[in-house]
């Protein structure tokens, strides 16, 4: 990698809409945008729910839910992303946050 491009190829994803490819045909763009907004709403709901009743994986991976409102919002944001991935992957292990220890085979 050229030194003048260092860091330029790392994507920043703030919401599911950022994952929609730029070359999607226009007739599909609104439908995909609507689904991305639905997914972001659900992700935020999951983060809020987890902050109210912290499962083992969230407490171990993210620490306790902060009292400070800004830090709490950041915690919920992270928890929501992990929870959304866990739902998508069908992962329900209360101790393992990100399917990191699948058995061999």
Give pLDDT tens digits for 6-62. Answer: 566 777 789 999 999 989 999 999 999 999 999 999 999 999 999 999 999 999 999
In-domain check, residue 11: no
What per-residue confidence (pLDDT) applies to 1? 38
Contact 98, 81 (CB under 8 A): no
What per-residue confidence (pLDDT) applies to 6? 58
Tokens found for residue 59: 């407490």
In-domain check, residue 101: no
Contact 20, 32 (CB under 8 A): yes
In-domain check, residue 89: yes
* pTM for this predicted structure: 0.78
Nearest-angstrom CA–CA distance, 55 and 77: 15
In-domain check, residue 80: yes
In-domain check, residue 42: no
Number of domains in the chain: 1
Q: What is the average per-residue pLDDT within 67-89?
A: 94
Of the pLDDT bands very low, low, confident and very high (cuts 50, 70, 90), residue 4 is: low
Residue 81: domain span: 56-93
In-domain check, residue 29: no
């Amino acid at each position: 990698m050229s030194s003048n491009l260092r860091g330029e190829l790392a994507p920043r994803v703030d919401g599911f809409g950022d994952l929609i490819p730029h070359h999607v045909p226009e007739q599909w763009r609104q439908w995909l945008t609507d689904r991305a907004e639905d997914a972001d709403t659900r992700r935020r709901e999951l983060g809020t729910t987890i902050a109210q009743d912290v499962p083992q994986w969230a407490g171990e991976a993210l620490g306790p839910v902060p009292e400070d409102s800004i830090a709490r919002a950041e915690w919920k944001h992270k928890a929501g992303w992990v929870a959304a991935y866990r739902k998508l992957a069908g992962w329900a292990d209360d101790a393992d946050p990100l399917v990191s220890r699948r058995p061999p085979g």
